[in-house]
């Protein structure tokens, strides 16, 4: 197994699946301005997925391109976090999911910029700019809704209670990471954990939200063991490619 | 206001229009002009926003990453267009929320085309090519509309529209040059969207009650039938070029008029769809209504937070 | 609780360094911060800007178009404020 290929799938799939989830909002946002904003997030993520998966295809060297990888793998071969496949539920839950992810992504890209792999560092530089804005947007909403009305506070607290157990997987690390870290290709994510904690706690505190005391960690995505939701995402995502194999669109 | 005074105002107003001087929000304008604009601009805004739904229907199923991004950006543009237009209507005193409630209650109309379903990926091609094509034809003259904010919004919209039709035609071309299955898919989409697209220009001139006054006020620059004819004349050769057949046995070139003669449009169908009996009317409005309803707590919370923050800031300052 | 509509903001964008901010349209937002974010998402999707101003529409005081005669026409007659008012001999450059 090629560790870099595997790792690029993780990065690409996170972006792809979260981009997919956000795109489900298009036409259904709470107000037109926010509909447009969420589409921007989605577009950035789909752009990132394209870059990571394209590079993954090159690294793999089996002439699979970004579309082959995005549309023609089986469920167990997707390596995204469980967090990003969580259903949108309501706007608040969507922003909470976004916030937990963005906080990690921003810190991660800040370090990935210094990768010894020039292609990764270039993708990271572009993605970092996007992600800084995503984090600004999602954290503002988490604060606004957490400290808004009683109803919004309740909704945000229950979103946090629901999503918190998926946040540990952000810092999942295994033998795939080890070599890459050693060679300076990727940063060690456990080193980010401390900073992520500070950032997240700070925002949640402003949002008057309480971090659940239960520390149970729900993981699996990085190993290709997903929730039931991913299958349905893929059913839509892959529909055209599966129904009409091998055609150009 | 005294009667002769109104006469003077009306004369000055029409003189401005005749001299192609734009009318701006605070300028005096006849009430009917204001109402006509509010009706037209908000209908237009609603069309942009409801128009997101048929294409939004395929975003999660787009066949590759490039198409997905393009479609998403395109539908997003339509949301932007809706927003520019609601803003233009607000300059006339039409509050956005009220305007939207009129849409949801069925009081306000939107383009009938968006009540047709999108059943295959090829429909993304047909919609971009024909529906955005027809929209552009309608909208380019509006950039010279007499009301300043509407004209400026349309300049922005038209600039952004330019890629919409192209991406649609690119989809159609790719399919038409693809496998037999793909070509059949493209032809089927054209068959279903051709007539509804021609209906987009509105009823025939003899039945269009607003056209004359709107032309005098330079809110409208061409009649419905003129625009429809232009659409047919431009589109037929495009279809021929990519090997698709316009689903109209009566279509033929008329040398004398230098344009195509085409078959009878089913106006019964048109009026039924306008009245709410199209295949998707109920679903479209229900979807928009739900989006608003589900967002109510978000908008309310944002207000509450804004007030809290203001209060805290004044406390800090004092 | 009746849901109050978010206030309307006017949006001004500087398209590039050296140019002044120009009015581009309006939007709704609950507060200034959100208005800036929304303006960025709505009005700069095609890199139209590098700087954004938002002003609550309520705070804009506009001149009355009926006063246009007295406000602006007087300066029409002050052509001496425009450089083209002055004759410069042929051959003079950089002036
Ligand atoms: Fe549009
Ligand atoms: Fe369009
Ligand atoms: Fe349009």
Interhelix angle A3-23/A91-112, rounded to 10 degrees, is 150
pLDDT surpassing 90 at residue C62: no
- pLDDT tens digit sequence for A70-129: 999 999 999 999 999 999 999 999 999 999 999 999 999 999 999 999 999 999 999 999
Separation CA A227–CA A80 (nearest Å): 11
CATH number for the domain that contains residue A145: 1.20.1260.10
Is residue A237 in a domain? Answer: yes
Is residue C25 in a domain? Answer: yes
- DSSP of chain A: --HHHHHHHHHHHHHHHHHHHHHTTTT--SSHHHHHHHHHHHHHHHHHHHHHHHHHHHHHTSS--HHHHHHS--GGG----HHHHS---SHHHHHHHHHHHHHHHHHHHHHHTT-SSHHHHHHHHHHHHHHHHHHHHHHHHHHHHHTS-HHHHHHHHHHHHHHHHHHGGGG---HHHHHHHHTTSS--THHHHHHHHHHHHHHHHHTT----S-------GGGT---HHHHHHHHHHTHHHHHSTT---
Mutate which of A12, A26, A38 to disrupt the B interface (most B C-beta within 10 Å)?
A26
Buried b (16+ CB within 10 A) or exposed e, A3-17: bbbbbbbbbbbbbbb
Domain count, chain A: 1
- Asked whether A212 and A70 are in contact (CB, 8 A), the reply is no
pLDDT value for A1: 62
Is residue C60 in a domain? Answer: yes
Give C-chain residues touching B26 at CB under 8 angstroms: 62, 64-65
Is residue C65 in a domain? Answer: yes
Is residue A59 in a domain? Answer: yes
Is residue A248 in a domain? Answer: no
Mutate which of C37, C40, C43, C47 to disrupt the A interface (most A C-beta within 10 Å)?
C37
- pLDDT tens digit sequence for B261-291: 999 999 999 999 999 999 999 999 999 999 9
pLDDT value for B209: 76
- pLDDT tens digit sequence for C11-37: 999 999 999 999 999 999 999 999 999
CB contact under 8 A, C42 and A33: yes
pLDDT surpassing 50 at residue B302: yes
Separation CA A99–CA A103 (nearest Å): 6
Ligand number with the minimum distance to the CA of B165 = 2
CB contact under 8 A, B60 and A23: yes
Q: What percent of chain B has pLDDT over 70?
A: 99
Is residue A217 in a domain? Answer: yes
Spatial CA neighbour of B260 closest among B198, B217, B189, B199: B198
Of all helices (H) and strands (E), which one includes residue C54?
strand C51-56
Separation CA B247–CA B130 (nearest Å): 13
Per-residue confidence band for A37, with pLDDT thresholds at 50, 70 and 90: very high
CB contact under 8 A, A148 and B301: yes
Is residue A249 in a domain? Answer: no
Spatial CA neighbour of B112 closest among B51, B168, B71: B51
- Cβ-proximal residues to A62 (8 Å cutoff; 6+ apart), any chain: none
- pLDDT tens digit sequence for B149-202: 999 999 999 989 889 999 999 999 999 999 999 999 999 999 999 999 999 999
Per-residue confidence band for C1, with pLDDT thresholds at 50, 70 and 90: very low
CB contact under 8 A, A244 and B68: no
Q: For residue C16, what are the domain limits?
A: 8-81
ipTM over 0.95: yes
- Cβ-proximal residues to C7 (8 Å cutoff; 6+ apart), any chain: C28, C29, C30, C56, C57, C58
Domain count, chain C: 1
Chains with ≥3 CB–CB distances under 8 Å to A? B, C
- DSSP of C37-52: HHHHHHH-TTS--SEE
Chains with ≥3 CB–CB distances under 8 Å to C? A, B
CB contact under 8 A, C42 and A140: no
Is residue C55 in a domain? Answer: yes
Q: For residue A38, what are the domain limits?
A: 3-243
Is residue C20 in a domain? Answer: yes
Nearest CA in chain C to A141: C34
Mutate which of C25, C38, C45, C46 to disrupt the A interface (most A C-beta within 10 Å)?
C38
- pLDDT tens digit sequence for B25-62: 989 999 999 999 999 999 999 999 999 999 999 999 99
pLDDT value for A58: 98
Distance from CA of C20 to the nearest CA of A (A): 24
CATH number for the domain that contains residue C42: 3.10.20.520
CB contact under 8 A, A36 and C6: no
Ligand number with the minimum distance to the CA of B161 = 2
Is residue C86 in a domain? Answer: no
Per-residue confidence band for C82, with pLDDT thresholds at 50, 70 and 90: confident
- pLDDT tens digit sequence for B123-149: 999 999 999 999 999 999 999 999 999
Distance from CA of C29 to the nearest CA of A (A): 8
Torsions phi, psi for C35 (to 5 deg): -65, -40
CB contact under 8 A, A67 and B68: no
């Amino acid at each position: 197994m090629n560790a870099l290929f595997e790792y690029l799938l993780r990065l690409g799939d996170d972006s792809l699946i979260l981009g997919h989830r956000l795109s489900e909002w298009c036409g259904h946002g709470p107000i037109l301005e926010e509909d447009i904003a969420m589409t921007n997030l989605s577009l950035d993520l789909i752009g990132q997925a394209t870059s990571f998966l394209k590079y993954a295809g090159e690294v793999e060297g089996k002439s699979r391109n970004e579309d082959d990888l995005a549309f023609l793998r089986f469920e167990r071969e997707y390596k995204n976090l469980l967090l990003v496949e969580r259903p949108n539920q309501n706007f608040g839950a969507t922003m909470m999911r976004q916030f937990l992810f963005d906080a990690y992504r921003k810190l991660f890209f800040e370090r990935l910029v210094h990768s010894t792999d020039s292609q990764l560092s270039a993708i990271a530089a572009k993605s970092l700019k996007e992600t800084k804005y995503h984090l600004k947007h999602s954290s503002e909403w988490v604060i606004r809704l957490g400290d808004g009305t009683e109803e919004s506070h309740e909704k945000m607290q229950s979103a946090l209670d629901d999503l918190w157990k998926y946040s540990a997987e952000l810092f999942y690390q295994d033998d795939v990471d080890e070599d890459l870290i050693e060679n300076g290709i990727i940063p060690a994510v456990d080193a980010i954990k401390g900073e992520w904690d500070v950032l997240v706690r700070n925002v949640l505190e402003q949002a008057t939200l309480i971090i659940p005391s239960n520390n149970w960690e729900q993981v699996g995505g990085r190993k290709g063991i997903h929730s039931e939701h991913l299958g349905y995402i893929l059913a839509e995502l892959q529909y055209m490619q599966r129904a009409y194999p091998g055609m150009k669109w | 206001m005294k009667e002769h005074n109104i006469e003077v105002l009306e004369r000055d107003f029409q003189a401005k229009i005749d001299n192609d001087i734009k009318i701006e929000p605070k300028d005096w304008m006849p009430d009917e002009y204001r109402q006509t604009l509010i009706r037209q601009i908000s209908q237009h805004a609603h069309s942009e926003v409801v128009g997101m739904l048929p294409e939004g229907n395929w975003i999660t199923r787009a066949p590759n990453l490039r198409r997905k991004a393009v479609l998403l950006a395109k539908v997003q543009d339509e949301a932007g267009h809706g927003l520019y237009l609601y803003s233009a209507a607000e300059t006339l005193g039409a509050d956005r929320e009220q305007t939207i409630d009129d849409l949801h209650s069925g009081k306000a109309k939107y383009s009938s085309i968006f009540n047709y379903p999108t059943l295959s990926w090829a429909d993304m091609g047909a919609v971009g090519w024909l529906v955005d094509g027809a929209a552009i034809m309608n909208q380019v003259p509006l950039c010279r509309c007499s009301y300043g904010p509407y004209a400026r919004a349309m300049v922005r919209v038209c600039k952004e529209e330019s890629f919409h039709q192209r991406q649609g035609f690119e989809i159609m071309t790719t399919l038409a040059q693809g496998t037999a299955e793909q070509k059949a898919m493209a032809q089927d989409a054209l068959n279903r969207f051709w007539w509804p697209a021609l209906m987009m220009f509105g009823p025939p001139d003899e039945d269009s009650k607003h056209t004359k006054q709107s032309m005098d006020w330079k809110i409208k620059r061409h009649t419905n039938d003129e625009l429809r004819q232009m659409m047919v004349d431009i589109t037929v050769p495009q279809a021929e070029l990519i090997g698709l057949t316009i689903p109209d046995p009566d279509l033929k070139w008329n040398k004398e008029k230098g344009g195509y003669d085409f078959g009878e449009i089913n106006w019964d169908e048109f009026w039924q769809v306008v009245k709410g009996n199209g295949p998707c009317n109920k679903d479209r409005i229900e979807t928009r209504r739900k989006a608003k309803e589900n967002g109510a707590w978000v908008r309310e919370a944002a207000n509450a937070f804004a007030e809290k923050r203001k209060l805290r800031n004044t406390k800090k300052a004092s | 609780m009746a849901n109050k509509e978010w206030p309307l903001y006017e949006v001004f964008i500087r398209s590039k360094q050296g140019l002044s901010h120009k009015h581009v349209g309006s939007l709704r937002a609950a507060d200034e911060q959100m208005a800036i974010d929304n303006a960025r998402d709505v009005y700069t999707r095609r890199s139209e800007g590098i700087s954004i101003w938002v002003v609550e529409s309520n705070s804009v005081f506009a001149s009355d178009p009926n006063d246009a005669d007295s406000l602006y026409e007087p300066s029409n007659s002050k052509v001496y404020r425009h450089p083209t008012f002055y004759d410069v001999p042929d051959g003079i450059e950089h002036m």
